Every structure is written in structure tokens, then in C-alpha cells.
């Protein structure tokens, strides 16, 4: 069947090579349900404008219902001659209601305003699904923080031992960025929730159709203010791709730590069998593949964003066919996250931490040196001097091959007259952690509060 929507002024059909290049059904067919919803809304405004009779409206809606059922069952699918989802569905519609009624539906709309609307509808649904998965992951991190409350670990900067922190504090440090990713999607939705339908090809419609009515019908609180902008801009798609890429980067940071924690050298955590893989040659292997795939896929998500931005750069107003390239990156970004997140959450939820090992390492690497310096500050020693004194203690320890709590009272006194034996009260991991009691700090009381705030934030989103 010849199904093109634009045959009139052409003497012949497109070359095979052009048809192959032009065809987008391999990726835009997933918008079929949204396209049909758009057609229903459009039929109603055609009716309201007096361009479809009551009977024609009924026939159109019935035909669209039958078409939708056939799309859902797989009885109707695109053929190679269909240029895109819109063309395929118009063919299917006409096959069901005949050319007389079937030929009326396209009045006053363009594939340009249609596709811009459908992509928004689709991405808004995907964003909600991704947000739900992210909240599950935050819940898993919060559960782990709760279950391991009280376990100290070496807090690091530059991957070097820095200061002891609670494992729960560290785990929640990964929860907050994910909550911001969810908030970012929610905020993005305010800008995505504007319908381009009714913009026509670029200039709007001359047929008296009401874009606000279509918008409301399709779940958009508003119709676009500018039909040229609405058909030509894809910042909403790019912003979605950014939210997805940022989420990927956040997941990759957790991944890297899980990979390290599961090494022999760290031995901080054991992966559950159901969320790790073996080696085809080395029988002993238990590999953190989920974390590695997440780390790898973050690169893919960044590629989706940068590829799309590259496509959009320098495009003149209004619609250009370049814009057909907007879909694969954002679809891939959504697919990637929706595939990854359930596995990732399972991995996090089933991690088993070795609290004893972490606690043993927490004070090592002179991670209590800052506590000596800050104790001195509380004794009114200027910080500059306190820093030097604590550093001298570390140097002494290194010379002797011992750790800070191993120094004797006379050793401390030999380093500085300010170092009375009372300094020992901060030379424990528990004391060091408890002393960091300001908002956001690692003191157990603050971390428990923080956990409650994470749970509240999840509830509120």
C-alpha cells in the first residue's frame, strides 16, 4: 500500500535508499498509544470546531478504539512503506473506517506538532517510572544505613584515610544525590507539561481548533505559548537526557565503591550470590558485574546527552528533520535506567557489610590527627599551631611505626606542653565521631536524624 502523507506534488515515489533512511518506525512505534490518544483529542476539537459531525466523531473514536486494540494485540504493525508512526497509524485508521472518514482526521495538525507532543507524553511517563525506581534504591540505601547504624568506617578524601565516619553517614551520602535526581525529574516535568499539539507545522492552525482542550485531554496543564517554539525546541528532551546522565553518574559513584569494597584488599562488603556473577575459567571468582555495568552504562547515558545536544546545536527555526534524531537518545536513556535500576537496587539491598573490618580500619592511617588539632583549638591553641603539633605527633608515630593512641603521655608532652593526657578523650573513633555533632555531621545522633529526613523526603516525593 502507498501510505505516504505527502504524495500530491510528486511524480514518483521515494528511492529505496531514501525510504530506508527516512523510516523511523523502528524506534517511534513505541509512541503508537500516545499517537492514538492524540488523535482522539484532536478528533474532539475538530468536532467542537464543527469540522466533524456527531456521527463522524463517533465513527472516528470507534475506529481509533479498534486500531488501538489491534496495535496492542500486535494484529496491526508498521510495514516498510510507513515513514513513521503517524503514517502507519493513519493507514491503519483508514483501513478501519474507510478513506472518506479516515481522511478527515489529519486536518489542522502536522506531524511536527504531533511528534513534539508524543515525545513529551512518553517521557513524562518514563520519568515517573524512573523516579519510582530511584526511590526504591534510596529506600534500600536507607535500610542499609539503619541496619548498620553504629558501624564506623574510614572516611576518605583522595581515597586516603581522612576521618572516621559512620557507614550509615556514608551510605546516606549516596541517597541525597539520588533524591535530587528524583526532584530534578519532578521539576523537569513542570516544563515538559506543556503541549505543542495545535501548533500545526509551525504557525498554528487556521481551523479554529483549541490547543488548550487538546492539552487538557492529553494530561497537560497548558498548551504552548508559541507554536514555532513548540515544534522546533527540544530542550525538554535534552534536559531529560541530562537528568538521566546525572543519575547514571551518581550510580557510577556508588558502583565504584561497591567494586572496591568487594575486593580482597578492602573486604568491606560481600555481594549476594543472586547479584554477582562468576567466571567461565576461574572457579573462585565472584564478580561485581551489576556495579560494573552501571559504571559502564553511565558513559552511555552521557553519550545520549552529548549526542542529542550536538544534534540540536545551530538548528534554525522551525522544525527540521534533524529533530527526528531526538528520540533514540532519550528512549535509550530511559530504557537503560529502567533496566539497570531494579538490579542495582537488589545489589544494594543485599550487600553484607563486614562491620568489624571497617571498624578496625577506621582509626588507621592517623585518621584521628584532626581530632588532636581540634582538641587543641578547644584549649585555646591557635589552629595553625595546633595543626603543626598534631602533624608532629603523626611524624613521631611514623618514626616509631605506631598509631596515635599508642603514644604515651610523655610522648605527647615532648611534642607540646599543650598536649596533656586529657587529649586521649578524642583519640577514639567513637569520641571522634560523636564530637562532629553539627547538622549534617557524622555524630550518631545527627546521622539518625538524617536517616529520618531521608525517609521523610522519600515519603514527600
Interacting residues toward ligand ARG by CB under 6 A? 24, 84, 111-112, 115, 319, 321, 323-324
CB 315 within 8 A of CB 232: yes
Q: Among residues 158 and 321, whose Cβ is nearest to ligand ARG?
A: 321
Least separation, in Å, of the C-beta of 217 and ligand ARG? 21
Phi, psi of 152 (to 5 degrees): -85, 155
Q: Which residues of 286-308 are buried (b: 16+ CB within 10 A; e: fewer)?
A: eebbbbbbbbebbeebbbbbebb
What is the rounded CA–CA span in Å between residue 60 and residue 322?
Answer: 32
Nearest Cα to Cα of residue 102 among 65, 59, 69: 59
- The vertex-321 CA angle with 116 and 196, nearest 5°, equals 15
Q: Among residues 319 and 331, whose Cβ is nearest to ligand ARG?
A: 319
> Residues with Cβ < 8 Å from 164, sequence gap 6 or more?
152, 153, 154, 155, 362, 363, 367, 368, 429, 432, 433, 442
- Bridge pairing between strands 152-157 and 160-166: antiparallel
- Per the annotation, the verdict on 279 as an active-site residue is yes
Least separation, in Å, of the C-beta of 153 and ligand ARG? 50
Least separation, in Å, of the C-beta of 334 and ligand ARG? 16
Least separation, in Å, of the C-beta of 325 and ligand ARG? 8
Least separation, in Å, of the C-beta of 31 and ligand ARG? 9
Catalytic residue, chosen from 22, 267, 279, 414, is: 279
Least separation, in Å, of the C-beta of 250 and ligand ARG? 30
Q: Among residues 218 and 359, whose Cβ is nearest to ligand ARG?
A: 218
Catalytic residue, chosen from 15, 73, 158, 280, is: 158
Q: What are the angstrom distances between the C-alpha of 180 and each of 185, 236, 349, 459? A: 9, 18, 20, 14
Q: Among residues 117 and 252, whose Cβ is nearest to ligand ARG?
A: 117
Q: What are the angstrom distances between the C-alpha of 23 and each of 78, 79, 283, 347? A: 10, 10, 48, 40
Decide: helix, strand or coil at residue 223.
Answer: strand
Q: Among residues 24 and 148, whose Cβ is nearest to ligand ARG?
A: 24
- Per the annotation, the verdict on 158 as an active-site residue is yes
Q: Among residues 200 and 363, whose Cβ is nearest to ligand ARG?
A: 200
Task: Just list the catalytic residues.
Answer: 158, 279
Amino acid at each position: 500500500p502507498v501510505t505516504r502523507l505527502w504524495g500530491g506534488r510528486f511524480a514518483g515515489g521515494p528511492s529505496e535508499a531514501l525510504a530506508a533512511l527516512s523510516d523511523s518506525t523502528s524506534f517511534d512505534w513505541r509512541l503508537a498509544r500516545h499517537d492514538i490518544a492524540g488523535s482522539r483529542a484532536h478528533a474532539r476539537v475538530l468536532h467542537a470546531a464543527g469540522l466533524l459531525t456527531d456521527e463522524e466523531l463517533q465513527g472516528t473514536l470507534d475506529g481509533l478504539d479498534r486500531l488501538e486494540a489491534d496495535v496492542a494485540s500486535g494484529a496491526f504493525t508498521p510495514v516498510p512503506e510507513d515513514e513513521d508512526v503517524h503514517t502507519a497509524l493513519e493507514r491503519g485508521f483508514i483501513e478501519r473506517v474507510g478513506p472518506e472518514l479516515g481522511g478527515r482526521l489529519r486536518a489542522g495538525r502536522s506531524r511536527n506538532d504531533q511528534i513534539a507532543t508524543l515525545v513529551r507524553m512518553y517521557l513524562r511517563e518514563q520519568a515517573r517510572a524512573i523516579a519510582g525506581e530511584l526511590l526504591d534504591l534510596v529506600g534500600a540505601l536507607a535500610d542499609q544505613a539503619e541496619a548498620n547504624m553504629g558501624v564506623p568506617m574510614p572516611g576518605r578524601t583522595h581515597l586516603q584515610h581522612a576521618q572516621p565516619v559512620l557507614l550509615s553517614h556514608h551510605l546516606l551520602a549516596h541517597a541525597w544525590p539520588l533524591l535530587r535526581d528524583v526532584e530534578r525529574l519532578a521539576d523537569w516535568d513542570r516544563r515538559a507539561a506543556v503541549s505543542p499539539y495545535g501548533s500545526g507545522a509551525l504557525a498554528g492552525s487556521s481551523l479554529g481548533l483549541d490547543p488548550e482542550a487538546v492539552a487538557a485531554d492529553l494530561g497537560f496543564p497548558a498548551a504552548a505559548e508559541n507554536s514555532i517554539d513548540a515544534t522546533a525546541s527540544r530542550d525538554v528532551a535534552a534536559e531529560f537526557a541530562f537528568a538521566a546522565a546525572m543519575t547514571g553518574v551518581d550510580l557510577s559513584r556508588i558502583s565504584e565503591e561497591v567494586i572496591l569494597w568487594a575486593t580482597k584488599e578492602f573486604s568491606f562488603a560481600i555481594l549476594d550470590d543472586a547479584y554477582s556473577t562468576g567466571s567461565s575459567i576461574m572457579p573462585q571468582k565472584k564478580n561485581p558485574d551489576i556495579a560494573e555495568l552501571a559504571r559502564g552504562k553511565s558513559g552511555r547515558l552521557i553519550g545520549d546527552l552529548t549526542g542529542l545536544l550536538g544534534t540540536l546545536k545551530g538548528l534554525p527555526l522551525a522544525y527540521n528533520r534533524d529533530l527526528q534524531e531526538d528520540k533514540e537518545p532519550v528512549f535509550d536513556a530511559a530504557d537503560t535506567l529502567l533496566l539497570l535500576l531494579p538490579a542495582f537496587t537488589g545489589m544494594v539491598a543485599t550487600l553484607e557489610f563486614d562491620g568489624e573490618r571497617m571498624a578496625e580500619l577506621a582509626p588507621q592511617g592517623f585518621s584521628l590527627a584532626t581530632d588532636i588539632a581540634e582538641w587543641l583549638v578547644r584549649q585555646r591553641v591557635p589552629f595553625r599551631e595546633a595543626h603543626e603539633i598534631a602533624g608532629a605527633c603523626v611524624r613521631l608515630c611514623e618514626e616509631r611505626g605506631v598509631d596515635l593512641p599508642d603514644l604515651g603521655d610523655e610522648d605527647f608532652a615532648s611534642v607540646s606542653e599543650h598536649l596533656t593526657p586529657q587529649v586521649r578523650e578524642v583519640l577514639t573513633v567513637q569520641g571522634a565521631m560523636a564530637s562532629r555533632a553539627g547538622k549534617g555531621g557524622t555524630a550518631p545522633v545527627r546521622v539518625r536524624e538524617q536517616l529520618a529526613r531521608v525517609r521523610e523526603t522519600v515519603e514527600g516525593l
